[in-house]
Structures are given as C-alpha cells and as structure tokens.
C-alpha cells in the first residue's frame, strides 16, 4: 500500500522538534549538530532572533496580497538586490525550481523579441541541478533526474563539466539562447567552476551573443564568503537564479537580470500567486541586510578557513575513508573513498547532520553563523564517524 506521504524521499528516522543556531533537537530530546542547514537554506541557522522578530512582526501585519497590488516589502527587497548585484531588475518566486522556469522563459523570450524566434537552445553541463520541474530536469539533463519523465521539454543540450571547446563549437551553431551553469555545482558533488573557466564561458557567450544564466540557488547568499559565488571570477551573468539562503528557511526565490536580458518580460508574460508575498520578502530583506554586510562575509570566510583546515587534517588522518576536501567558503565537500552514504550513517550515529551529493561526496553546508566551538565539535564528530567506518571495514 502506498504510504500517505508520496514516497519520493528516502527519509531518515529523525523528526526534529526545535532548533537554535547550528543545533537541532529531536522529538526524543537528542541534540544534533547541523552541517546541512536544510541543504544550504538556513543561512543564519535555526530560529535566528532577527528573523523570528521580522517574521512575527510581519505576520501580525500582513501575510499575503496579490501581485495585482503594490507590495512595499517586495519593492524594498528588489531595490536591495539591484543595488548589491549586476542586476537591474528582480522577480520573486517561492523556490529555485520556479526561478529556473522563469530564467528559461526569459532567455527564450529575449530572442523571440529580437526577431530570432528559432534561437531557443539552452546549454547545460553534466552533473548540474536546476530543480525538479520539466524545465529544471531538462536543463540539468542527467538520467537520474529525467528517466521516465519524457517527452522532455525540448531544446536543451548538455556538455561535460569544463568542456570549453565543446561550448565554443555549440555556440557557433547560432541557435543557442543561453548557457546555464552553477558557479559551484552543489548536488553534483561540490564542484567549483574555476574562475578562469567562468571568464572563458562569459567571453564565449559574448562572442556568440548568447545569454549567460548563473544558478546561484545553492552557492549564493554568502555561502562562499562573497554575496554571490561568481563575484570571485569578476564576471557577471545576464540572468541569475537565487533561492535557498535568501529566505533563511522561509520559501523565497528570485530571478535577477539585466535590463536587456529581461526586456521581453513585459506585463502579462509571467506571474506567481505567492511569489514575492509580504511575509517572504520582509524576511528576505532582513537576510540580505545581514548577509551582505562586508563584516559578516569576512566572518564567513574566516570560519570557512578554520573549517577547511580542520577538514584537511581529517582527510589526511583517514585516507581510507576520505580522499579530498573541495569547495568554496562554507560550501564544502568531502570526497569519500568509502561509500558516502556509509559515512553519513555513521555521522548520524555521532549525531551530526551532513548531506550526500553526487560523485561520492559528503556535503558540509553549515549555517553561515556557525560558532567556532561548533566547528571544532563538528570535526570531532566527523572523526568519530570516520573511525566507525574504518572499524566496520576491518
Ligand atoms: C543549484 C540549484 N538549483 C535549483 C535548485 C532547486 O531549488 P528548489 O528545491 O528550491 O526548487 C536547487 C535545489 O537543490 C539547487 O541546488
């Protein structure tokens, strides 16, 4: 008999009742140290006082009004994001997947309105993830995401990660509307795109006139120590998808774009009932205010350095369990030699939450506010897990 909850997740038998900072407490009263942060969502940890405050205040004022009306909280958040980034305009969604839908529509409408309606192809990269909608799975393209869901949305092709020659060739065919890429692949196994590669991709798009979409749903919002990961490379996209961290745990996403890239999206071309509601945007504005503070981002980088150094030591001490540390800022991956899911099971035994990813990687995505002593405690628990895995294989 099918469970009353559609069984699309392999859930662990852990039910959390409350949380604070980097700690979660189960309904049995057990305390877990959270290095997953809801998969890079709880950027400020659990129940951050500033977010509890803004949420409760806004909840007492106004939750939802239609986008038929002016929403000052939404306008404020758009103004902040435009001030802080390459973008001239923003549209708010409830998730990263919805941001992907709009990014794809925006790119295709751009070329339609420029008199090149056949310029519809979107190029993605192997190992990427852009959400579970029809456009999201078509953009990412992996069999794990797409098998059984055909016919897929047409007009998407894929290249191996880092295949710049392939990209130049594909772009020369003249039918490419946009290239979509995560500056740091998340689900694919924490694979950063080197800065010079991002630069080369930008240059190739410019040469061919194609739009460039960055998916910063996972790597954005301070996760890498910059407000957005692409800032390290010095290049900017035409369109960017944002979600996860921007809501600090409240559902919120956004598409940011230049005026030119967004030029086709005139009144009536897109919409959302819930996207940009006052509650989500009030919270989002507070998150952006906190995370975009240069002092906050410096602290993220300092904590990231400390964590990374300890993880390097852990990998060196347990070569049968781990192979390498990779990633950027507090978006880190432990490339495992043992099965990542076996290591994860032992992490759970040590009351530590991490997240598995592709390429046999264990993701470390703590709250950006993780305390130094919790970093030390996390590595101690990872050590316990590593020893348990070693003990198992003897
Ligand atoms: C890079 C990236 N893009 C898009 C998505 C989809 O976001 P959501 O699950 O909010 O729809 C995710 C989610 O993991 C992601 O990591």
pLDDT band, residue 81 (cuts 50/70/90): very high
Could you tell me the distance, in angstroms and rounded to a whole number, from the CA of residue 96 to the centre of ligand 1?
5
Ligand 1 pocket check for 130: Cβ under 6 Å: yes
> In whole numbers, what is the pLDDT of the chain averaged over residues?
98
Could you tell me the distance, in angstroms and rounded to a whole number, from the CA of residue 368 to the centre of ligand 1?
18
Residues 6+ apart with CB under 8 A from 361: 189, 190, 326, 333, 334, 335, 336, 340
Q: For the chain, list the domains and their CATH numbers.
A: 50-291 (3.40.640.10), 296-392 (3.90.1150.10)
- Polymer length in residues for the chain: 394
Residue with tokens 């369990």: 321
**Rounded CA separation 364/353 (Å):** 9
pLDDT band, residue 392 (cuts 50/70/90): confident
For residue 394, pLDDT beyond 80: no
Q: Is the pTM of this model over 0.95?
A: yes
Q: Which two tokens stand for residue 312?
A: 């390097």
Q: Percentage of the chain with pLDDT > 90?
A: 99
Could you tell me the distance, in angstroms and rounded to a whole number, from the CA of residue 83 to the centre of ligand 1?
24
Write b or e for each residue in 190-206: b if 16 or more Cβ atoms lie within 10 A of its Cβ, otherwise e.
bbbbeeebbebbbebbe
Would you list the DSSP string of 211-247?
EEEEE-TTTTTTTTSSSSGGGGTT---SEEEE-GGGG
Q: Whose CA is nearest to atom 4 of ligand 1?
A: 130
Over range 198-226, report the average pLDDT: 98
For residue 253, pLDDT beyond 90: yes
């Amino acid at each position: 008999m099918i469970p009353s909850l559609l069984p699309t997740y392999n859930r662990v038998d852990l039910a959390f009742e409350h949380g604070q900072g980097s700690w979660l407490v189960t309904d049995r009263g057990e305390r877990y140290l959270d290095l997953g942060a809801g998969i890079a969502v709880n950027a400020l940890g659990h129940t951050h006082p500033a977010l509890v405050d803004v949420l409760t205040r806004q909840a007492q004022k106004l939750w939802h009004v239609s986008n038929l009306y002016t929403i000052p909280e939404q306008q404020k958040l758009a103004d902040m994001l435009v001030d802080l980034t390459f973008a001239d305009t923003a549209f708010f969604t409830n998730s990263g997947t919805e941001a992907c839908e709009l990014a794809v529509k925006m790119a295709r409408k751009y070329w339609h309105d420029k008199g090149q309606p056949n310029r519809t192809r979107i190029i993605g990269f192997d190992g990427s993830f852009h959400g579970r909608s029809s456009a999201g799975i078509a953009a990412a393209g992996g069999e794990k995401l797409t098998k059984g869901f055909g016919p897929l949305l047409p007009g998407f092709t894929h290249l191996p990660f880092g295949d710049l020659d392939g990209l130049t060739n594909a772009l020369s065919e003249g039918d490419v509307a946009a290239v979509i890429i995560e500056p740091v692949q998340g689900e694919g196994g924490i694979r950063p795109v080197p800065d010079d590669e991002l630069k080369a991709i930008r240059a190739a798009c410019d040469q061919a006139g194609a739009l460039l979409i960055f998916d910063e749903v996972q790597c954005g919002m301070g996760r890498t120590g910059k407000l957005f990961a692409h800032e390290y490379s010095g290049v900017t996209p035409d369109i960017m998808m944002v979600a996860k961290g921007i809501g600090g745990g409240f559902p919120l996403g956004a598409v940011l774009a230049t005026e030119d890239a967004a030029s086709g999206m005139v009144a009536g071309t897109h919409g959302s009932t819930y996207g940009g509601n006052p509650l989500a945007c009030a919270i989002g504005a507070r998150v952006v205010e906190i995370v975009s503070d240069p002092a906050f981002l410096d602290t993220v980088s300092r904590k990231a350095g400390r964590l990374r150094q300890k993880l390097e030591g852990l990998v060196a001490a347990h070569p049968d369990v781990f192979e390498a540390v990779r990633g950027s800022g507090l978006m880190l991956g432990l490339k495992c030699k043992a099965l990542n899911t076996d290591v994860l099971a032992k992490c759970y035994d040590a009351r530590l939450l991490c997240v598995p990813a592709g390429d046999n990687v264990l993701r470390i995505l703590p709250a950006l506010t993780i305390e130094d002593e919790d970093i030390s405690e996390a590595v101690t628990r990872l050590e316990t897990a590593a020893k348990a895995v070693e003990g198992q294989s003897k």
